Structure formats: structure tokens, C-alpha cells
Structure 1
Amino acid sequence: MSTGVRRRMGVEERRKQLIGVALELFSQRSPDEVSIDEIAAAAGISRPLVYHYFPGKLSLYEAALKRAAQDLAGRFDEPHEGPLGDRLRRVMRRFFDFVDEHGPGFSALMRGGPAVGSSATNALIDAVRQAAYVQILSHLEVDDPPARLELVVRSWISLAESTALIWLDGRRIPRAELEVQLVHDFAALAAVSAAYDEEMAGVVRRMIKDEPPDGAFADLAARLITLAS
């Protein structure tokens, strides 16, 4: 956290500093609990100077949220190399890294915080979800997704969000297990949809075509077989 002697900064440098300070504070506690006075003190400047750069806490929160949203969207970027199950597992690891680092802020955003409900905030959240959606489709090598595939991918993104929120409330399930479980959830959602639609069946066949015997999707199949036996 930035503290200490005040020094002159340019406008953009000061704005970036305040956004960084706010992000750190919002990561430790709900934004509702963080005051402008705390942000000013952490930045080593006066309260009026904070208002010189941002009209109020809401605008500062939205600026911090924009930076966090860009970070979160970037967590879904993954090279198109190796089995899909392994790629999704790496994505989930980075996703939970973000949730772990920004727990209270992530929770406040999804459950209701000072900026929730504003069009700017909703647009940022939707942009993250859309970035995740586009990334998953690119890994499935689908440009024009059928309705059932869109349903599967968007449902899975919502499931990842809700799983992360539940995990934050006590962290009663080991994080590593949830990361793998969400990869299995994706495969399960796709498989169920494939049972009703031949186009989805083709997507699933491509998903598992290059999966190794010890891969994430094979692990799910083995668990289900064991359960049924």
C-alpha cells in the first residue's frame, strides 16, 4: 500500500496511484466499508485532493473496477496448446487467483456494492463475461455457436462466478478441488446438451478427441464409471 511523504505527481500518475490504492483497500474489505479519508491517507494526500481527481467514491470505485475487470478478463486468455481440459484448468487457476486476491471487492461487485446498478458497472461486468465467452468459443474452434452451445458456455461462466462467491464464504472446500470440479462441470454440461443435439455431439467429440488418458475429462469419466459400478 502506498504511504509516506507527499510528492508531486502528474495528473495521470496520481490517478493511477489512487486507483491502485483503492483496489488494494477494496480487496481487503467491502468497498462500502472503505472511506475517502482512508484512501487519502493510504495515498499520502489530503481528502480534498482525492476529490480533485475523482468526484466521489463511486467514480473512484468505477475506475478501480475498470482496471480489475481488465485484469479479470485477461485471466481467460490461454494459448491454444495442449488438451482442452488442461487449458480450462489453467484458466480456472488464474480465475481463482484473482478471486483470492480481490475477495471482498469481487464479492461486493457480484452481490451488490456502491457502484452496482450503474450502467458503467454493469457494462464492465458484461464485458468480462463476454471476454470469457469469446475465449471459450475460440478454444472450441466455433465461430457461429448454435443455441445450445451458447447456453452451455454462458451457464458455465455463471456457475464459475457463483462457485467463487460460495467458496469465499468460509472457503470450506479446497480451492484446487473446485478448480478441477469446474472443468468437469463444463464437460458435464456439454455432454448433457450433446445427448439432445447432434451439433453439440460433434462439439463434444472434438473436445475429447485429443484428451490424454490422464486428462481432466478422462478423470471425470473414470469417476462417473466408478460411481455407477
Structure 2
Amino acid sequence: MDVEQRRRQLITVALDLFSQRPPEDVSLDDVAAAAGISRPLVYHYFAGKQSLYEAALRRAADDLTELLTASDQLPPGEGLLAVAGRFLDFVETHGSGRFTLLRAHPDLIDGVRDAAYGQLLAHLGVETPGPRLEVVLRSWISVAETAARWWPDGRRIPRAELESQLVHSFVALTAVGAAHDDGMAAVLRRIVAEEPADGPFTEAATALAAL
């Protein structure tokens, strides 16, 4: 195993441990044992526990950012559904512990949220959002993040239904903003018009209109 491969292995092992237990309860001995190497060898790759911890946090942030910003060409509703699904993909793959780690470090989680915000703008085809749309998008990211952290505990809502509910919540938030802002109303009309007849935005708009 070359130097870079070993560093990646140690970061992965450390991130798993830090996600399962409070960081102060994880020692370099724990990391070394999980990686199958000696403690002194860990120091060959990292100056100490703090530098390994920081590298693990950066990996978690980078992994989630890469997942949320995966490039695809989808109608707005399908794009939003994909982002919601990627939040859930992250916790299905890694558990909710990594979210907990990142939320304890605003500089990192805010960067992830900013990346998700940019991806949502791209899906919606909006280059210069007004303040009301920014509030809606950032609020929705918080809702999706909270749902992803909560959902693994019992999975009391089927995943497909939760993803659909998240998209519907976005339409509802946008509709409220549109009632107060012509620019938001124009965005909502456009994205619904661009949506396929069986798309998630159309489904949400139909359900709201029936209330």
C-alpha cells in the first residue's frame, strides 16, 4: 500500500470511528487497531489525532458535497428529487453520524449547504435568485438535511414517499413565497410549465390545488 492509499485508509477508518463515538473517546490506538497497523505508523502519516480528525472531517464534507452536486440534466422536479435522494443516499451509506460530525463544524457544513444551494439553482435554471427564493432554497436544504438525519431511526416513512414529500414541501414553500413576490410567482409558473405531466412538481401542484 503506497503512502496515499494508506492515508486514505486511515482517514476512512478514523471517520467511521468518529461517526460512531464522540471524538474524545476515539484514540489513535483505536484507529491503528481498526486499520491493522501499529500506533507509531499512524504518526508517519499524520502529526497526531487532531490532524487526522481534521482530515476525516474534510473527507466527510467533500464526499457529501460531491454527492449533492453530481451533474445531471433533469427537469426541475426530477432534479430536486435527485438532491433529496442523495441526502438519503449519504445516510444509508454512512449512517447519520457523519451529519452529526459535520453539523458540529459550521465552516464545513455551511460549505456543503452552499454547494447544495448552487446545485438547486442550476436545477431550477435560476442564475440570480431574489431574496425570497434564497430563503426558500436554504430553508428546504435544512428540511432535507433534518429528514435525512432523522429517517434512518426506524425508517417510519418509506424512502420513496419521503423523497416525494420533500419535493412537495419545496413546492409549498415556493407557493407561499410566490403569493408575496412576482419574481417567485414567475419562477414557480415556469418550473411547473417545464415539468412533465407525471413529474413530481406537477403532482405536488395538483395536490395543493385540490386542498
TM-score bracket relative to the smaller structure: 0.7 to 0.9
Structure 1 residues 178 and 58, CA, compared in 2 at 3 Å: closer, same or farther?
farther
**Residue 206 of structure 2 aligns to a residue in which SS?**
helix
Query: What SS does the corresponding residue of 2:68 show, helix, strand or coil?
Result: coil
1:30 counterpart = 2:36: no
Match of 1:53 among 28, 41, 45: 45
- Which string of whole-angstrom CA distances, capped at 9 and with x for unpartnered residues, describes residues 108-167 of structure 1? 3256xxxx3xxxx43221111111111111222222211101101111111111112222
TM-score of the superposition, structure 1-length normalised?
0.81
The amino acid across from 1:211 in the alignment is E
The residue aligned with 1:165 is: 149
- Alignment gaps of 5+ in structure 1: 1-8
Query: Is the Cα contact below 8 Å between 2:74 and 2:123 reproduced in 1?
Result: no
Distance in 2 (CA, whole Å) between partners of 1:107 and 1:170 is 17
Cα distance in 2 for residues equivalent to 1:150 and 1:65: 27
Unaligned runs of 5+ in 2: none
- Matched with 1:106 is 98
Give deviations 1:201-228, integer Å, cap 9, x for gaps. Answer: 11111211111221101222333345x3
Give identity over the alignment, percent: 59
* Equivalent pairs, count: 210
- Per-residue Cα deviation, 1:90-113 (whole angstroms, up to 9, x for no partner): 2222221111112142243256xx
Q: Which residue of 2 aligns with 1:129?
A: 113
Alignment partners' CA distance in 1, 2:96 and 2:144: 17
Partner of 1:200: 184
In structure 1, distance between residues paired with 2:57 and 2:114: 16
Tell me if 1:40 matches 2:11: no
Change (3 A) 1:208 1:93: same
Q: C-alpha root-mean-square deviation of aligned residues, in Å?
A: 2.2
- Written as runs of structure 1 = structure 2, the 5 A alignment for 1:137-156 is 137-156=121-140
Cα distance in 2 between the residues matched to 1:110 and 1:23: 11
CA deviations 1:23-78 (Å, max 9, x no partner) are 34445x23535432221012121123223432433332221121221121122225
> Where do 4+ consecutive residues of structure 1 move more than 4 Å?
none
